[in-house]
Amino acid sequence: MNGQKLNCVECKKDFLVIAQEEAFYKKKELPLPTRCPDCRQTIRLSFKNPRKLYQTNCRHCKQEILTTYTPDSPYIIYCQKCYREQMR
């Protein structure tokens, strides 16, 4: 397998940039990565907002449910059963 063996500036582990990746970076006029794939993934994930769940009650049956909508959300929140009944 052709490619370049590089050293991650973050964790100091060696990683391989294969020929196809090199060609891609060259075509896009981008520099070769300085971080290994694991460190790059960690950075990408750090920008992602974590999913937060809130406890609320179904608007129809008052059953306690979890939702991604905040308590002050303007949306009407139903449990699955009531939602399906409302959508018929």
pLDDT tens profile 1-17: 578 999 999 999 999 99
Helices (H), 32-73: 37-46
Mean pLDDT of 58-69: 95
pLDDT of residue 2: 77
Task: Determine the Cα–Cα distance for residues 16 and 7; give it in Å rounded to an integer.
Answer: 9
Task: Determine the Cα–Cα distance for residues 2 and 17; give it in Å rounded to an integer.
Answer: 9
Res. 66 pLDDT band, cuts 50 70 90: very high
Q: Return the domain boundaries, the chain.
A: 3-46, 54-86
pLDDT of residue 43: 94
Task: Determine the Cα–Cα distance for residues 55 and 11; give it in Å rounded to an integer.
Answer: 40
Inter-CA distances, 76 with 51, 59, 61, 63, 80, Å? 20, 7, 12, 14, 13
Tell which phi-psi region holds residue 4, choosing left (phi > 0), alpha (psi between -120 and 50) or beta. Answer: beta
- Predicted TM-score (pTM) of this structure: 0.55
pLDDT per residue over 28-49, tens digit each?
999 999 999 999 999 999 888 7
